[in-house]
Structure 1
Amino acid sequence: MKTVAQILKAKGDQAVHTMAPTASVFDAVALMAQKNIGALLILENDRIVGMFTERDYARKIVLLSRASKDTSLHEVMTTSVMYVRPDQTTEECMALMTENRVRHLPVIDGGRLTGLISMGDLVKGIISEQKFIIEQLEHYISGERS
């Protein structure tokens, strides 16, 4: 089973996009569209104070007919943010995401933010791992040696 550290390494670009809680929802959505991402971490003094996701936008802005330019992130962000450590497995992360119905988890190492993983990142890692196992089994069955 792969670890979060391995998933982040395979992901390549480990940039974590963040905004301040005082930023407008409009600016957050614009950044998310520009970067083609589904979530932003909300930081205040280098400390995670929340997360803003596409789900937050749909439920707390669109459905309530709020104006995204006039609403700040601190008004609508999710404030209870779960996180994982680099040594945790993809299986542990999938269980945490499934149980809590979240799609993004910050990665914290020694109190420092080191990345952000999504459900998509985990699925890619699991598929990659399964593909490798299948290839090894095919070589074994056919008698080939690598």
Structure 2
Amino acid sequence: MKTVAELLKLKAQKNQQVHTIGPDQMVVEALKLMAEKDVGALPVIENGAVVGVVSERDYARRVVLKGLSSIGTPVSAIMSAPVITVDRHKTVEACMGIMTDKHLRHLPVVEDGQLVGLLSIGDLVKEAIAEQASLIEQLEKYIRGE
């Protein structure tokens, strides 16, 4: 199975850049950034460290359902924290296990305290499907004697 480092290299160039937001910025700013960049979550960065993740799900559950204002509510009030991160050496399989066990949809990748990438459950599922397809193809060739 591939490692996180290998998976990050394979991501399309436009998906390699990680957009972030600060904990003191307003939720409306996070929503605008997510819409503009067509992403479902943003790592929350304070003093260079990942302190949380804010997602569309956080907005729906912690702003909309509670009747709060996205204009006057800081990201820190709705972000998911503490944040679970992985390093580049974890396998795709290990990341899928973490995301399944912790019910996460986004997993920040951190090296030496710095954010280097963000994996979505979609990234991991896409890779798992590709690996299974490759294994099936190899087995079919083996069975045919190729």
TM-score using structure 2 length:
0.92
Counterpart Cα distance in 1 of 2:3 and 2:39: 22
The C-alpha deviation readout for 1:108-130, integer Å capped at 9, x for no partner, is: 12322110101100001101111
Counterpart Cα distance in 2 of 1:106 and 1:138: 37
Structure 1, unpaired ranges of 5+: none
4+ aligned runs moved over 3 Å, structure 1: none
Q: What does residue 12 of structure 1 align with?
A: 12
Q: What does residue 70 of structure 2 align with?
A: 68
How much has 1:88 moved relative to structure 2? 0.7
**Is the contact made by 2:49 and 2:113 (CA closer than 8 Å) also made in structure 1?**
no
Counterpart Cα distance in 1 of 2:75 and 2:114: 22
Aligned partner of 2:132 among 126, 130, 140? 130
The C-alpha deviation readout for 1:44-69, integer Å capped at 9, x for no partner, is: 12111211011110110010011111
How much has 1:85 moved relative to structure 2? 1.0
Counterpart Cα distance in 2 of 1:20 and 1:110: 20
Q: What does residue 42 of structure 1 align with?
A: 44
Q: What does residue 87 of structure 1 align with?
A: 89
Identity across matched positions, percent = 50
Secondary structure of 1:18's aligned partner: coil
TM-score using structure 1 length:
0.92
Structure 2, unpaired ranges of 5+: none
Counterpart Cα distance in 1 of 2:61 and 2:75: 13
The C-alpha deviation readout for 1:82-120, integer Å capped at 9, x for no partner, is: 001111111111111111111111111232211010110
Secondary structure of 2:98's aligned partner: helix
